[in-house]
Amino acid sequence: MAVTGVTRRALTRELVARGHWWWWDLDELDFLRRLYDLEVLPSHDERYPDAFGDFIQHRINNFDWDDDWIFDDTRFGLNDTDDDVPFLRFLAETLHPEVRSDREAVQTIVAMYNDHLRHDGFELYRESTISGRPVFGWRQVSKPSITRRQVRESIAEAIRDNLKSYDVAEFCEEELGLDPPRDQYDDPHSSKRGYVLERLKSKSEPELLVLARRVLQEFDGASLSSVVAAFDASDTTKAHGALKNLIFAADGPKPEIVLRDAVNNDIEITANSEYCLVYDRPLDDTGLTWRKLVAWWGEAHPGDDERAVALDLHRRLTAGLNGAEGLVLRTYAGLYRDYGFDLPALIPQVYLHYDPYSRWQRLSAGPLPRQRMDFLILLPRHKRVVVELDGVQHYADEGRKASPSRYAEMVREDRRLQLAGYDVFRIGGNEVADHAEGEQLVREFFESLLRFHDITLEARDSRS
């Protein structure tokens, strides 16, 4: 995948139109020095030894370069479509907390960047934090599977089926902004479809989708409508099937919940919110990593650095866990230390179902067994893993006598979860009774599980 020239130019134009300059809280020279060694880059002017001399002459002394000069200067690689890294690194740096401190501006600009980048299969994302503020990196995302050819042909077919040939040229020019006829032989009377396709062949994917939606406003086109719908459905940067209302780290009374907006499934915890955490951000195709969870926690609980925020979050997650549960969570946390914060997060005490009544408020058994799961992992590609730590209460009655009914209830709920798309793994309480052996067993299990799901476990030199 590559960030096309079309996307780069569109981003540049929009930055200029919005009056957003990349150096923001800094002066331009200080910003450039964060990314480039101007004394090493060559000069384009024989009077000066390096790019620093060029900059002083043309941006300070004479001030005869336009503000967007850098995007056309080949020394900085921002228009090199064979290498995306300089351009993406530049965009990410414009949002760094030391460059741009206005939180609202950062949110607006990163959304604008991603609106353009997603069509080429990239996005900026919150990679870490500094003093509770986001630091952005970049990554590839799945592009919509609809091809440019499919969109072009669907547009041409919709116009062919809904317009007379003598109206096609005017519609294309006046309504869609396409090229007018070149000469007397460039005529839709011979082929309406061919005439339109010729004008669409140089259009990029984002441009074609804008035209497709404009055509759909004018005409019914079953093929075109299905192509646009398929593009939207496969666009993984939208919150299709997004995670909502992950209520976890419960360490006290059940939260009392109301539906603030029942249509959108927006909830509000009206009581006991201090006994749980709620992660309510959309979940993308990379799953929920420890780094993302730390960044989310750091917004409300800033620390000196990412590691300090992570330790604070870990302390909160272990609150209320029993000895065996705490062993599992601490052992998994050792993987963050050894392999880095981009591993999937192990999330404790997650509400799977929600029954508003306590067992004492009901006169009979409740309809929702196993309302909380011990641990949840949200892996890439929307794979979900439940890890349960089985104590004697899972298979025995209050007298510690084997209970077939309790066991049957447990395996019945496992089947239901598995049919709903969850993988369920169980660790026997007796397996972790010896702490040293238990830690080794749990670590080996999680390492095997992550490798099975193609998670790279590579030892890091850094502790973060």
277-300: b or e for each residue (b if 16 or more CB lie within 10 Å)?
A: bbbebebbebbbbbbbbbbbbbee
Give residue 396's pLDDT: 59
Whether residue 230 is contained in a domain is answered as: yes
Give residue 266's pLDDT: 59
Three-state secondary-structure class, residue 438: helix
Which of 108, 140, 172 finishes a domain? 140
The answer to whether residues 250 and 388 belong to one domain is yes
Cα(210)–Cα(204) distance, rounded to whole angstroms? 10
* 339: enclosing H helix or E strand: helix 323-339
The answer to whether residues 291 and 160 belong to one domain is no
Residue ranges making up the domain that contains 76: 5-140
Give residue 234's pLDDT: 55
Which of 140, 165, 199 finishes a domain? 140
The answer to whether residues 101 and 53 belong to one domain is yes
Task: Give residue 448's identity as a one-letter amino acid code.
Answer: S
What is the number of structural domains in the chain?
3
Give residue 247's pLDDT: 83
Whether residue 462 is contained in a domain is answered as: no
The answer to whether residues 398 and 272 belong to one domain is yes
* 450: enclosing H helix or E strand: helix 435-452
Give residue 285's pLDDT: 63
The answer to whether residues 266 and 225 belong to one domain is no
Give residue 134's pLDDT: 86
Cα(373)–Cα(418) distance, rounded to whole angstroms? 14
| Site of tokens 């109301």 | 258
Whether residue 348 is contained in a domain is answered as: yes
pLDDT < 50 regions, the chain: 236-242, 357, 359-368, 462-464
pTM for the whole thing? 0.47
pLDDT digits (tens, 9 = 90+) for 44-89: 988 999 999 999 999 999 999 988 899 989 999 998 888 899 999 9
Whether residue 457 is contained in a domain is answered as: no
Whether residue 461 is contained in a domain is answered as: no
Which of 112, 140, 168 finishes a domain? 140
The answer to whether residues 309 and 438 belong to one domain is yes
